[in-house]
Amino acid sequence: MEFNTIYNNLFYLVPEIAVSAFLLLVVLADLILGNNKKLLPYLSIAGMLVAGFCVMNQMTFSGAVFSPSGQSKSFGMVTVDSFGAFFKLLVVISTILVVFFSFSSEEIKKSTRRQGEYYTLILGMVLGMFLMISATDLILIYLSLELMSLSSYVLTGFTKLKDRNSEAALKYLIYGAVSSGLMLFGISIVYGLTGSTNLYVINTLLQSPQINMLALGIAGILIFAGIGYKISAAPFHFWTPDVYEGAPITITAFLSVASKAAGFALLARFIKVTFVSSVAPSGHWLLIPVFPWKELLIVISILTMTLGNFTALWQTNLKRMLAYSSIAHAGYLLLSVAVLSNQGLVAMLVYFAIYAFMNLGAFFIVMIIANKIGSEDLEDYKGLGYSMPFLGVTFGMFLVSLTGLPPSAGFIGKLYLFIALVDANMITVAVIALLNTVVALYYYIRVLKEMFLSKPTGEPVSLRLSPLSLILILVMLAPVVIFGVYFTPVVEFAKSCITILGM
Amino acid sequence: MNIYDIVFYLFAAITLASAFVVVTARNIIYSAFSLLFTFFGIAGLYVLLGADFIAVVQLMVYVGGILVLILFGVMLTNKITSVQIKTGTLQVIPAILGTALMAGVLIKIFTGTNWHSQMAQYPTKTTAYALGHILLTDYVLIFELLGILLLIALIGAATIARKEEKAS
Amino acid sequence: MELLIQAGIALAKILIVITVMLLTVSYLVYFERKISAWIQNRRGPNRVGWYGALQPFADVFKLLLKEDIVPSNANKFIHSLAPFITLFVSFATYAVIPFGPDIKLFGRTIQLALADVNIGVLYVLALTSLGVYGLTFAGWSSGSKYSLLGGIRSSAQMISYEVSMGFSIAGVILLSESLRPMAIVESQYGFMWNALIQPIGFITIVVSAFAETNRLPFDLPEAEPELVGGYHTEYSSMKFAGFFLAEYANMIIASAMIVTLYLGGWQFPYIDKFGLSMGLTAGIQVLSFLLKMALVLFFFIWVRWSIPRFRYDQLMNLGWKVMFPLSLLNLIWVAALIMIFNI
């Protein structure tokens, strides 16, 4: 590869370069400004805005860059397409929201001296996610996954004053190390089979019949273990509740939305680019018959959502409950991949666009209440609906949307998912998912019941919302309400974003 | 069986035997100590494959860096605190079944697969030049990303290690 | 037959180098004592032999005849192994250092280096990082807290300074575009010595060499008032002699490395222009290598008897906050030189 080619290819990586530049800027600013850390969050937000702007510019791009010499030009290491741009936008938006969350988080405020590290690591996570979303080379996939994981391990244990926090970080690290080891082993088997780490090259090689199915099957499962860990799919979900409970809420919210989005983008792209030979005119993907992705994904997703929903029933800590709820949502989202069609992809994008706002919103309100009453236990939420009417009502709306009841936006997400399922003749699966939603209804509504129908136990607390918090809640509430009734733009946007560059 | 084969089996035997000691030794210092030989054996295998640069870097990074850190950790915690760091054995039967199954599958895979392979060439000159060239052209993105990854790891380690100020 | 001759030549080179090394080590101890006496205005060893010239042998006999004491709660195996690791590392490093140009003898070309390894510089670095094990194991296995602390101190110190040493070597590699010590020496033809081209790198490598060899002003592992004898507190007899020998052998290697990397190795400026015969040229070059080494060794000893010891935190601060950035700066400087002058 000549220097000129590298230089031209860099043009496709402008968002990633912007994120890296701002990452370094935050480190330097932290050093230069000394004890004045006020500027750092604004710098991170500025970085995200610049990155978001660059991503918007790339909306119509499509191409694979950084192809190793001796390979066809289209067999690149990084693929830039509208699918990737959609997820990058999602990551950018949730990062901006999470940085704003951090303004009002008591946990983060306590460690003022380490603010610089906090924002640096968040930007590091964003860079990892960006590359995960558009990686089409196994080495790059592994590295970006590690970049994201490393930052998130540290962020999970960021506030060191609580034992739970360090426990969460350690658990996250140990599970993460095992799963990335498994993934690396899978990658090495794939490399041994094909002699390449490039997904496009592997795709062409898989279409020849001499591939050993058993070896490829094991490799596929191992690589899926690495990705499944990131999206907390069962049986790789064990870390989720502990980590979500122990981590600072801002990070919990970030993990549950952004890193999950990046994981799903990676999974969808990995399957599409590596294992799909062509796309039928109806939008269905024709799998190369070497690995039963559909069956595997269906089994895993049913397991994930059932486990998530049923375990959530018994939770008394709201962060833990939301953790299990996010496992359940990962199950639904896995179904949208399992459909293996463009309709499934649209459903996934719509679902994610809505899920991001409602989940972040729910976590934000839990955080505000925890700031005030110092607890996330359901017990302490008794009667809060009366002492904090605004928060109670908005929290209710987020929860209803998470359940997927009409007329909230969550309903639209589920609707498109079920349409895609029925379209692909997966009626049984659709019914199981529907039944799961009914279970989910119970534990979401239970929170509302505690808030509005129980007598407050202690003194009534009153809370004055800061203007920033109010604006943030409204910003997150708006899409949840509006997309519930007026959803055409989201769907149209999602439909325009399903190009995954592949064979 | 030519000389390369003999050397290969020698290094492989060193690696396997010392790795076995690593997992079975009761004293964790002995584990760390025999890990030294495992890394040596692997470095020898790299040399046999003609990867001289990687072999030396393996020694520098794993033996010179990582293992020393492990030893530090073990030594500083082993005697100063009164906690005995010994490895125990739990759940013997499920573990044997699990590993036997895994070993069976892996052996089946590794013997029954037509691996993508090519004849090893013994390089006449050092691989450092070729490696450097490929890292700065074809894999420049990965190289730079590694830089950022290490920076993040460094910052993360410093964050975790730094003493937390009291909540005021 | 050919193989036998090759093996014979290799064996001869090894024998010569080891003998010279051992002799140099013993006389280095002697000279250290003499120079220190001279600096402190006293006489130094003067009883055994002519002006005490046989003193090193007397010392060796003394150590040989002493009782070998192993503390009761020491880990016997590792306790005896540690000095061997240290010695092995010190002597193995010498294999790649070139001490003269290729010479023609009886119709065949002989390289004046035990092994002309392609990645010789990395080999030295790798072995140096192994040297840590000798100290760490010695400190741990003695079963004494002074030894443990001494061992950990010295290995932490070595690891820290390895970084800046590595980076100052990187500057040299950048210029010579090779990891072969021979090629690095050849690239410093005339007065193109690296010490003159990249003075910052020279400073950092000299300072790191002091730290790597645990010499004053960085001899914290042996800080008598706080740590008794450091990692070898519990060693006696020949095992102690092993550490002692290794320390001086390390000094020789460090000075040989500094000469090779930064002071032109065996090059004598413009000697090929003098029109001397082949053998004489080679002789002068080997001599100039030895002379340079002797000067660096003298510098080592001179510093030891002139500068007080650093405190441990000062040592670490110097290593990470001064030497490491300086060595990075040196790397940038060399890169800029290459960019500008297209060397």
Is the Cβ pair C148, B79 closer than 8 Å? Answer: yes
Please report which helix (H) or strand (E) contains residue A3, including its range: helix A3-10
Pairing of strands A285-287, A63-65: unpaired
DSSP state of B86: B
Q: What is the pLDDT of residues B29-76, one digit of tens each?
A: 788 888 888 998 999 898 888 888 888 888 888 888 888 888 888 777
Is the Cβ pair C78, B65 closer than 8 Å? Answer: no
Q: What are phi and psi of A382, to 5 degrees?
A: -60, 125
Q: What is the pLDDT of residue C343?
A: 59
Comparing CA positions, the residue from A162, A303, A137, A317 lying closest to residue A234 is: A303
C242, C89 Cβ separation under 8 angstroms: no
Return residues 91-150 of A near B (CB < 8 Å).
110-111, 113-114, 117, 120-121, 124, 127, 131, 139-140, 143-144, 146-147, 150
Distance CA A192, CA B114 (A): 9
| Structure tokens given for A270 | 């990995």
> To the nearest whole percent, how much of chain A has pLDDT over 70?
98
Q: What is the pLDDT of residue B88?
A: 66
Distance CA C283, CA C276 (A): 11
Q: Count of CB atoms within 10 A of residue C310's CB?
A: 19
A20, A51 Cβ separation under 8 angstroms: no
Q: What is the pLDDT of residue A502?
A: 64
Low-confidence ranges of chain B (pLDDT < 50): 167-168
Chain B residues close to A157, C-beta within 8 Å: 160
Which pTM does this prediction carry? 0.89
Comparing CA positions, the residue from A325, A326, A346, A344 lying closest to residue A335 is: A344
Burial (CB < 10 A; 0-12, 13-18, 19+), residue A501, is buried
Domain boundaries, chain C: 69-341
Bridge partners (DSSP) listed for residue C110: C103
List the single residue in B68, B72, B128 with the smallest CB-CB distance to C119. Answer: B128
Q: What is the pLDDT of residues C73-118, one digit of tens each?
A: 777 888 888 888 888 888 888 888 887 777 776 666 777 777 777 7
List the single residue in C122, C140, C155 with the smallest CB-CB distance to B56. Answer: C122
Distance CA C282, CA C269 (A): 13
Suggest the residue from C80, C132, C178, C328 to mutate for an interface test with chain B (most B CBs closer than 10 A): C132
| Structure tokens given for B124 | 């006449």
Q: What is the pLDDT of residue B168?
A: 43
Residues of C with CB under 8 A from a CB of B: 75, 78, 118-119, 122-123, 125-126, 128-130, 132-133, 136-137, 139-140, 148, 151-152, 155-156, 159, 162, 179-180
| Statement: residue C183 has pLDDT above 70 | yes
Residue A430 lies in a domain: yes
Distance CA A108, CA A293 (A): 41
Residue A211 to chain B, least CA–CA distance (Å): 8
C223, C156 Cβ separation under 8 angstroms: no
Suggest the residue from A160, A201, A216, A221 to mutate for an interface test with chain B (most B CBs closer than 10 A): A160
List the single residue in B59, B71, B76 with the smallest CB-CB distance to C126. Answer: B59
Tell the residue number behind the tokens 């998130």, with chain if given.
A152
Is the Cβ pair B145, A147 closer than 8 Å? Answer: yes
List the single residue in C125, C132, C152 with the smallest CB-CB distance to B75. Answer: C152
CA distance from start to end of chain C? 44
Q: What is the pLDDT of residue B167?
A: 47
Q: What is the pLDDT of residue A106?
A: 78
From residue C78, give the alpha-carbon distance in Å to each of C92, C134, C141: 20, 9, 6
Low-confidence ranges of chain A (pLDDT < 50): none
Question: How many domains are there within chain A?
Answer: 1
Q: What is the 3-state secondary structure (H, E, C) of chain C?
A: CHHHHHHHHHHHHHHHHHHHHHHHHHHHHHHHHHHHHHHCCCCCCCCCCHHHCCHHHHHHHHHHHCCCCCCCCCCHHHHHHHHHHHHHHHHHHHHHCCCCCCEEECCEEECCCCCCCCCHHHHHHHHHHHHHHHHHHHHHHCCCHHHHHHHHHHHHHHHHHHHHHHHHHHHHHHHHCCCCHHHHHHCCCCCCCHHHHCHHHHHHHHHHHHHHCCCCCCCHHHCHHHHCCHHHCCCCHHHHHHHHHHHHHHHHHHHHHHHHHHCCCCCCCCHHHHCCCHHHHHHHHHHHHHHHHHHHHHHHHHHHCCCCCCCHHHHHHHHHHHHHHHHHHHHHHHHHHHHHHCC
The interaxial angle of helices A488-495 and A342-373, nearest 10 deg, is: 120
Is the Cβ pair B128, C152 closer than 8 Å? Answer: no
Helices and strands (DSSP H and E) totals, chain B: 7, 0
The residue segments making up the domain with residue A491 are 292-503
Q: Which amino acid is at C287?
A: L
Residue A493 lies in a domain: yes
Domain boundaries, chain B: 1-86, 123-163
Distance CA A218, CA A183 (A): 11
Q: What is the pLDDT of residues C251-282, one digit of tens each?
A: 888 888 899 888 888 888 877 777 777 778 88
Residue A407 lies in a domain: yes
Rg (CA), chain A: 22
Burial (CB < 10 A; 0-12, 13-18, 19+), residue C71, is middle
The whole-angstrom distance between residue A406's C-alpha and the CA centroid of its chain comes to 24
C257, C97 Cβ separation under 8 angstroms: yes
Q: What is the pLDDT of residue A99?
A: 92
Higher pLDDT among residues C71 and A443, named by residue? A443
Suggest the residue from C84, C85, C88, C122 to mutate for an interface test with chain B (most B CBs closer than 10 A): C122
Chain B residues close to A193, C-beta within 8 Å: 113, 115-116
Q: What is the pLDDT of residue A222?
A: 92
Distance CA C87, CA C83 (A): 6
- Residue in chain B nearest C160 by alpha carbon: B65
Distance CA A193, CA A220 (A): 12
Q: What is the pLDDT of residues C141-168, one digit of tens each?
A: 887 778 888 888 888 888 888 888 888 8
**Interface pTM, i.e. ipTM:** 0.90
List the single residue in C78, C126, C137 with the smallest CB-CB distance to B64. Answer: C126
Bridge partners (DSSP) listed for residue C108: C105
Comparing CA positions, the residue from B57, B110, B140 lying closest to residue A137 is: B140
DSSP state of A287: E
Comparing CA positions, the residue from B70, B74, B38, B44 lying closest to residue B56 is: B44
Distance CA C168, CA C330 (A): 7
Options 3.40.50.1820, 3.10.110.10, 1.20.120.1200, 2.40.30.10; CATH for B1-86 is 1.20.120.1200
List the single residue in C119, C130, C140 with the smallest CB-CB distance to B126. Answer: C119
Distance CA C266, CA C103 (A): 13
CB-based contacts of C93, cutoff 8 Å, min separation 6: C123, C124, C127, C128, C253
Q: What is the pLDDT of residues C193-206, one digit of tens each?
A: 888 888 898 999 99
